[in-house]
Structure 1
């Protein structure tokens, strides 16, 4: 079973993403409410994928993405963020994010993305 770390400052979004992931056959191994928490949890949990919000308190998603990719250059991160963050999404892709999903998101889009990542070596 593939392992997921869900990073979002909104508890309801973490639960929503986690529910979609569990329905797609993933195990949610951790949740983080900001980027610094995600960076701290990543080496301990060693998830197969991180879903990362971009706008969060303390440390935003771009900085967390950069630090996680420094810890593990093979880390797989998908950005899930609000529609008005176009430049930030482009920056995230440049930093190594695999893909992005715009909030509010379609469950089928997230499920398809999780399935795609699950079969990627």
Structure 2
């Protein structure tokens, strides 16, 4: 399974990457904003994308919409902080398959990734 990790926080990206590697999941790329996410998605075609909501240049909701235009079967999991419910709902309506609440929990994240990959 190949994952693209998208978050503007280096610290959170590092945590996600470590969680995935601890569970023998391959991280094929990392992006710090929506524009980078779209370019990397086109190039890498990952099995799963973990997507932050609040980022510079292009937020996660817009990035989800653009990725879904590129690949209607894209599997995107939103990673969001409390207080972002409206944006999370927008992202789910745009095509995201699930969401995880920050701070992220390794076990919950792996369970959710396995659920989404089997859709």
For normalisation by structure 2, the TM-score amounts to 0.95
> Which runs of 5 or more structure 2 residues have no equivalent in the other structure?
none
1:60 corresponds in structure 2 to 59
Q: Determine if the alignment matches structure 1 residue 10 to structure 2 residue 9.
A: yes
Output the aligned Cα RMSD.
1.0
2:83 corresponds in structure 1 to 84
How do 1:11-90 and structure 2 match up within 5 A? 11-90=10-89
Q: Is the 8 A contact 2:8 2:56 kept in 1?
A: yes
Counterpart CA distance in 2 for 1:19 and 1:87 is: 29
Instruction: Using the TM superposition, give the Cα deviation of residue 76 of structure 1 relative to its aligned residue in structure 2, in angstroms.
Output: 0.5
Counterpart CA distance in 2 for 1:63 and 1:25 is: 30
Q: Is the 8 A contact 1:24 1:115 kept in 2?
A: no
> Which runs of 5 or more structure 1 residues have no equivalent in the other structure?
none
* Deviations, residues 27-77 of structure 1 (Å, cap 9, x unaligned): 000000000000011010010000000000001000000000000000000
Q: Is the 8 A contact 2:98 2:116 kept in 1?
A: no
For normalisation by structure 1, the TM-score amounts to 0.94
